[in-house]
Amino acid sequence: MIDRRVLLNYRIDPEVLRRVLPPPFKPKLYAGYGVGGVCMIRFSHLRPRLVPASLGLKSENAAHRIAVQWVQDGEQREGVFIPRRDTNSWFNKTLGGRFFPGIFQRSRFEPRESDSSVSLRIVRSDGGTEIAFVGHVADQLPPTSIFPSLEAAAGFFSLGATGYSATNTPGHYHGMELHSLNWTVLPLTINEAQSCFFDDRERFPAGSVELDCALLMRGIEHEWHSRPDLYLSSTAASLTTRRQRRSIGMPEPDGAANRSEPIRAETHATSVAAGSDR
C-alpha cells in the first residue's frame, strides 16, 4: 500500500535539461517544457507477492525524476530517469542495487501530515537538507501551471510509471515499473519547496527551472515490477537490454564534449546545499 505520494513538479528549459540528462535519454516535453520533479512516497506492508501483509515493511522514500523518452532496441519508449533516491529504510539502502533495482541514499525523513496538508523535510547523512516541502490541498492547479487541468496532469504522470535509475557504472541503468491499481489525485498549493537537485544553479541556471504544481495521492493499491537493465548501445545512440562491450577509442555520444559529466547515482557529496530529493 502507498499511504501517501506527493509529486512536486517543475517546468524546465528543454535545452538545459537535455544537457543534464545522460545520453541517449531525451526530455519528454509538455507544452514546450521539460518536466522534472520529486516523488515523495510512504509505503506500508511492502512485501513480495504471497507474503502476509503482517510481514510487510514500512518506509519513507523519495526520488528525483525527469520525464524522458529514449530508443530501446529499435522501439521508442518513455518513462522517467531517476538520478537520485533517498530512503529511511536500512533494508532499501543495503539491498537496493543488489537484490532489487535502485541505489538508495540513507536519509532522515521528518513528515507532518493532516487530512488537508503535507509537510516533509529530508535530511542527508551529513546533516544538510536534501528536500523541504510544505503544501495544502487546493481546489485546482495554479493558473501558472503548464497543465490546463488536473486530468491533464494526472494523465501525463501516469505515463511515467517506468523508471530507470542511474547506477555507479556509466551507461548502465536499473529499471522498475509501478502498477497503480487505483489512482485518485488532488492538487496541492505549494507553500514551500526546496530541492538540492533542482536548486543547483550550476546544473540549472537561474530562470531555466520553475515550480509548476504539486499533486497528492493517498491509499494506492499497487504492485512493483522489475524491468530489464538497460545498457548504452555500441553506437551510443540508443539503449539495449543486451550488455555491451565498449571498445577503446569508441567515439563519445553526440554533444558529449560540450556537456557536463553525465549523471550517475548521486550521493550526498554531489548535492549542492541550496536547501533541499531526489
Q: What is the pLDDT of residues 93-130, one digit of tens each?
A: 455 555 555 666 678 899 999 999 999 999 998 999 99
Q: Does residue 183 surpass a pLDDT of 60? A: yes
Residue 206 contacts by C-beta under 8 Å, 6 or more apart in sequence?
none
CA 33 to CA 117: how far, in whole Å? Answer: 28
Express each pLDDT in 147-164 by its tens digit: 999 999 999 998 778 999
Q: Answer yes or no: are the C-beta atoms of 62 and 41 closer than 8 Å.
A: yes
Q: Which residue has the higher pLDDT, 28 or 49?
A: 28
Q: How far apart (Å, rounded) are the C-alpha atoms in residues 25 and 14?
A: 12
- Superfamily for domain range 2-270: Acetoacetate decarboxylase-like (2.40.400.10)
State the average pLDDT for the chain.
81
Question: Do 65 and 277 contact (CB within 8 A), yes or no?
Answer: no
Give me the pLDDT at residue 261, please. Answer: 37
Residue 257: the pLDDT is: 33
Q: Which of 36-45, 51-60, 70-79, 93-102 has the lowest mean pLDDT?
A: 93-102
Coil vs helix vs strand at 93: helix
Its pTM stands at: 0.80
Q: Which residue has the higher pLDDT, 114 or 42?
A: 114
3-state helix, strand, coil in the chain (%, to 5): 10, 50, 40
pLDDT at 253 over 50: no
Task: Please give the pLDDT value at position 33.
Answer: 98
